[in-house]
Structure 1
Amino acid sequence: MVNLQKIDHSESPVGLDLPKLRSHLAQNGMTLDASFVPQRFAAGFGNMNFLVEVDGAPMVLRRPPLGPIPPGANDMAREYRILSHLHDAYPLVPCAHLFCDDTDVIGAPFFLMEYRPGLVIGAAIPLEVKNAWSSDIPIGQLLGANMINVLAGLHAVDPAACGLETLGKPDGFLERTLRGWTKRAELSWAGDPAGELQAVLDWLASNRPAETKKPTLIHNDFKLDNIILDPETLEARTLIDWDMGTIGDPRFDLAILLSYWSEASDPAAMHDLKQMPTACHGFPTREEAAQYYARASDCDLNDFTFYRVLATLRIAVVFQQLYRRYQSGGTNDPKFAKFNDLALGLLDFAFQISRGKYF
C-alpha cells in the first residue's frame, strides 16, 4: 500500500525518550521494538506524531508540541477519551491503545493509536496524484464533496450512543466559545496594535445569534489534512487530530473548515495560509460547500456570517499564538516569524466577512 505521508527519519527524535518509553510500555505489557527506528510525521505546527512499532505492529505515538502550551490546547487525555469511545460508532476514527499522563516518561502526556497509512493532502495536491487522476470529475470537486460528507457524517453521530454525552457543555456553547476566543485574542496581542481586532470583537459581541441548533459532536479543527485518504480513490480512510473535539454547534465546525478554504479572489492572507488547495483544481467555493453541507445534514445556515467571522478570528489567534511561541523561544522554525503578519491579515479578512465583502 502506498503511503504518501511525509516523515523525517531520526534515530533519536526530539520529543521522545526511547529508554523511558520502552520501560513504561513494558510495565503495561507492551513491547517497543528496539530494531524499528521511530519516524516523525512532518506535518502541521501543533502536536507531534511518531510512527513506532509496538508488539510487532505499527502504531502512532501522539504528544503535544515542545514549548509552552496555550490553556486548553493539545489535550491528549481528551483526545484519547474521544478515540476510545467514538471508534465503534464512527469507524473513520482510529482505535486508541494506551494513554500516559506521566510527564516523566517522554516529557509530556501521550497516547498510542492505530496507524492507518494513506494519502494526506495539505497545501498542494501531490503531482503524482494529479498526474494519475483520470476521472471526468475534477479532483477538487470530489475532494470537496468527500470533506463535506465526512463532516456531515460525524455530526449525525449520537453522542449518547457512544458514551460521549458528557464530553462538553453544549448549553451556552456559542457564548462560551466567543468569550474564550475573545480572551485568547486579547492575550495574544497584549500591548500590540492588532489591526481590526477591536472592530471584529465588537461586531461579534453585537451579532451573536440565539443557540437554536441541536448540539452534536464536533471536531473543532476539521480540514483536509486531518483526513487520511485512499491514494487511489481519494475516499476517507480515517479522521485524525481530535484533541479539541467537543459537543457543540455543528455550524461552527463547518465555519472552521471554511476558515481554511481559500478562493482565487481572496486577499493575500488566505493564500499565505497554505492549508488546503481549494483555490483551484475545481473545488467548490465556500458558499457552494456550505450549501452542500446544508443539504447533506438538513441544517439551516441562518446567521452563518457570525460563525464565519468567529472561525476566522479563531485561526488568526492560532497563528498569533504560534508567533508568540516563536518569540518566546519555544521554536526556532523560521516559518513562524511571518505568522504575526499572517494573523493580522486574517483579522482584516474577518472584518471584511463581517461587512459582507466575502462569504
Structure 2
Amino acid sequence: MTHAFEISSRPNLPGLDWDRLDTYLNNQGRSLDANVAPHRFSAGYGNMNFLLRIDGENVVLRRPPLGPVPPGANDMAREFRILSHLHSALPLVPNAKLFCADPAIIGAPFFVMEYRPGLVISDEITSDTIEKWADPGPIGRHLGDRIVGVLADLHAVDVDACGLGDLGRPDGFIARTLRGWAKRAHLSWVDTTPPDLIALLDWLDKHQTTQTNRSTLIHNDFKLDNIILDPDTLAPRTLIDWDMGTLGDPLYDLAVLLSYWTEPTDPEAMHQLRQMPTAGHGFPTREQVADQYAKISGRDLQGFTFYRVLAALRLAVVFQQLYRRYETGGTDDPKYANFDTLALGLLRFGMDVANGHHF
C-alpha cells in the first residue's frame, strides 16, 4: 500500500505545534510554507512522521510518539546522526537536514529529512500492486530477494569510513541486549509473570551465545515496511526508521526480521501480527531467507536459534509495552486493546522456536 495520510484543514495536528515550529524554523533561517497543510503518515505504532514543505521542498518531520517512551527507544538524536553519516555510504538512506533537541518546540526532539515518495507494503499487498506485477515469478519471491539483498548491503557498510565506527557499544552486544529485554519484560508485565516468559528467559540464559560475528551497523527493526519501494518495479528506494540503529551482531538483525516473518502454518499469534504479507504470495520461508542471507553475506548461522528466540522475546515485549501504553492512557487507539493477548501468544511461539517446532 502507499503511504496513507491523515489530512487536516487546520495546521496543528497532535504532536505538531505549527506556530512554534514556524518560529523555530524562521530562527534557523528556514521557511515553513504555511499554505501547505501538514499531512501525518498514519502507518505504524511508533514514531510520528509529518509531510511538510520547507524552503520550497517536501520534507518529512519525524518525532517520537505521544505518551511515555521506553528508555532508549525513539532516539531522534541517534537517528539524525546515523542518517547524516550513512546517506553517502548507503544511498538508500535518506539525507537528514535539521535536528532540534529542544522538546519545547513541538513537545519532543525532532529532525527533518528528505522525502522520498513510493510504495510501502506492510500487512498486505494490494490488488493494484499485484495487477501491475509483470514478472513471471511470484511477487513474494521477488520481494523476499530484495529484502535479503538490502539487509546484506547494510551489513557490508564500512562504518569507520562513514564516521559511525564509534556508534554504540558493540562489545558484549548480545549479552547486553538479552539483559535489556529481560528487564523490559519484567517492567511490562507488572502484575504477574507469564509462565512462558519465565521459560523463555531460562532457555535464553542457558543457551546464551558468545558473539563471534564481527560487529556491523545494524538497523535493529529491519522489516518490509521500513523499505520504501518503487511502485512500478518494486525496487527499493529508501530504508527508513533508524532510531534504534547501532553497531552489533548482524545475525540479531536477521533474527529480528524473521520474528516478523509469518508462514502459513504458524500459530494464530504470528498471523495476528499483521506486519508483513509473507504467509502468501510466494514469499520464501524463514529458513530459506536465512540460507540466502548466509550465502550472500558469507556468515555462518551456527547457533542461530538463540538469536531467533531472543528476537521473539523482543517482539513479545514490544507488544506488551504497546499494551501498557494503552492501559495507562498513553493512547486510546482500540488496536492496542488486545496486544497483551498477542504478546502472550508471541512468548509461546518463542518457546516453539526454542524447542525446534518452528524455524
**Does residue 165 of structure 1 match 2:168?**
no
Alignment of 1:1-359 (within 5 A): 4-10=2-8, 11=10, 12-359=12-359
CA contact (8 A) 1:195 1:347 kept: no
**Shift, 1:133, TM fit:** 1.3
**Shift, 1:273, TM fit:** 0.2
**Which string of whole-angstrom CA distances, capped at 9 and with x for unpartnered residues, describes residues 158-214 of structure 1?**
110100011111110110000000100111112224240000000001101111110
**Which string of whole-angstrom CA distances, capped at 9 and with x for unpartnered residues, describes residues 219-276 of structure 1?**
0000000000000110100100000000000000000000000000000000000000
For residues 302 and 168 of structure 1, what CA distance do their matches in structure 2 show? 25
For residues 162 and 193 of structure 2, what CA distance do their matches in structure 1 show? 46
Quick one: which amino acid aligns to residue 185 of structure 2? A
SS in 2 for 1:26: helix
**Shift, 1:135, TM fit:** 1.1
Q: Give the fraction of aligned pairs with identical amino acids, expressed as a percent.
A: 62
Quick one: which amino acid aligns to residue 339 of structure 2? F
**Which string of whole-angstrom CA distances, capped at 9 and with x for unpartnered residues, describes residues 321-346 of structure 1?**
00000000000000100100000000
**Which string of whole-angstrom CA distances, capped at 9 and with x for unpartnered residues, describes residues 275-313 of structure 1?**
000000000000000000001111110100000000011
Tell which deviates more after alignment, 181-190 or 236-245: 181-190
SS in 2 for 1:357: coil
For residues 248 and 193 of structure 1, what CA distance do their matches in structure 2 show? 29
Quick one: which amino acid aligns to residue 148 of structure 1? V
Quick one: which amino acid aligns to residue 9 of structure 1? I
For residues 340 and 289 of structure 2, what CA distance do their matches in structure 1 show? 29
CA-based RMSD: 0.8
For residues 305 and 333 of structure 1, what CA distance do their matches in structure 2 show? 34
**Shift, 1:153, TM fit:** 0.1
Q: 5+ residue gaps in structure 2?
A: none
For residues 258 and 114 of structure 1, what CA distance do their matches in structure 2 show? 29
For residues 13 and 193 of structure 2, what CA distance do their matches in structure 1 show? 38
CA contact (8 A) 2:186 2:193 kept: no
Quick one: which amino acid aligns to residue 156 of structure 1? A
For residues 189 and 200 of structure 2, what CA distance do their matches in structure 1 show? 14
Q: 5+ residue gaps in structure 1?
A: none
For residues 192 and 71 of structure 2, what CA distance do their matches in structure 1 show? 21
Number of matched pairs: 357
Tell which deviates more after alignment, 4-13 or 152-161: 4-13
Quick one: which amino acid aligns to residue 149 of structure 1? G
